[in-house]
Structure 1
Amino acid sequence: MLALAGLAVLALACEGGTAGPAPSGGGSGSMAALGDSVTTAFASCLAPTPCPRNSWSTGDGTRVDSHYRRLLKSSPGLRGHNAAEGKARADALAAQARTAVTAKATYVTILIGANDACRPTIAEMTPADAFRRQIDDALAVLKQGLPQARILVVSIPDIYHLWEIGHTRDVAVKAWSLGICQALLAAPTSTAPADAARRKAFRERIDAYNSQLVAACKAYGARCRDDGGAAHRVAFSLDMITAQDFFHPNSAGQNALAKATWLGPPDW
Structure 2
Amino acid sequence: MRNRSHRSRAVLAFAAATALLGIAACDATGGNSSAPSGTRTRPSPKPTPVWDRSPASMAAVGDSITRGFDACSVLSDCPEVSWATGSDPQVNSLAVRLLGTTGAAERSWNYAVTGARMADLPGQMAQAATRKPELVTVMAGANDACRSSTSAMTSVTDFRTAFQDAMDTLRGTLPRAQVYVSSVPDLKRLWSEGRGNPLGKQVWKLGICPSMLGDADSLDSAATLRRGKVQNRVEEYNQVLREVCAKDRRCRFDGGAVFDYRFGTDQLSHWDWFHPSKNGQARLAEIAYRTVTARKPVT
Instruction: State yes or no: 1:171 paired with 2:199.
Output: yes
**Match of 1:19?**
none
Among candidates 234, 253, 256, match of residue 261 of structure 2:
234
Unaligned runs of 5+ in 2: 1-54
CA displacement 1:211-268 (0-9 Å, x = unmatched): 000011012x210010011111121112221122221111101001111222244888
**Match of 2:251?**
224
Q: Which runs of 4+ in 1 moved over 6 A?
A: none
TM-score, normalisation: structure 1: 0.84
**Match of 1:46?**
73
Superposed, 1:1-268 pairs within 5 Å as 29-73=56-100, 76=103, 79-219=107-247, 221-262=248-289, 263-265=291-293
Task: Judge conservation of contact 2:201–2:272 (CA < 8 Å) in 1.
Answer: no
Change beyond 3 A, Cα 1:172–1:45: closer
Counterpart of 1:246 in 2: which secondary structure? coil
CA displacement 1:57-102 (0-9 Å, x = unmatched): 1112212111101111499486001000001000000000001110
Change beyond 3 A, Cα 1:178–1:75: closer
Task: Judge conservation of contact 1:234–1:260 (CA < 8 Å) in 2.
Answer: no
Task: Judge conservation of contact 2:199–2:272 (CA < 8 Å) in 1.
Answer: no
Aligned partners of 2:112, 2:133: CA distance in 1, in Å?
Answer: 14
Counterpart of 1:81 in 2: which secondary structure? strand
Unaligned runs of 5+ in 1: 1-27
Aligned partners of 2:62, 2:140: CA distance in 1, in Å?
Answer: 5
How far 1:52 moved relative to its partner? 1.1
Counterpart of 1:32 in 2: which secondary structure? strand
Q: What's the RMSD between the two structures over aligned residues?
A: 1.9
Counterpart of 1:120 in 2: which secondary structure? coil
Task: Judge conservation of contact 1:150–1:266 (CA < 8 Å) in 2.
Answer: no
How far 1:127 moved relative to its partner? 0.4
Aligned partners of 1:131, 1:52: CA distance in 2, in Å?
Answer: 26
Counterpart of 1:259 in 2: which secondary structure? helix
Aligned partners of 1:247, 1:165: CA distance in 2, in Å?
Answer: 8
Counterpart of 1:151 in 2: which secondary structure? strand
Aligned partners of 2:153, 2:85: CA distance in 1, in Å?
Answer: 28
How far 1:132 moved relative to its partner? 0.5
**Match of 2:9?**
none
Aligned partners of 1:132, 1:75: CA distance in 2, in Å?
Answer: 36
Aligned partners of 1:215, 1:32: CA distance in 2, in Å?
Answer: 22
Provide the aligned length of Structure 1 versus Structure 2: 240
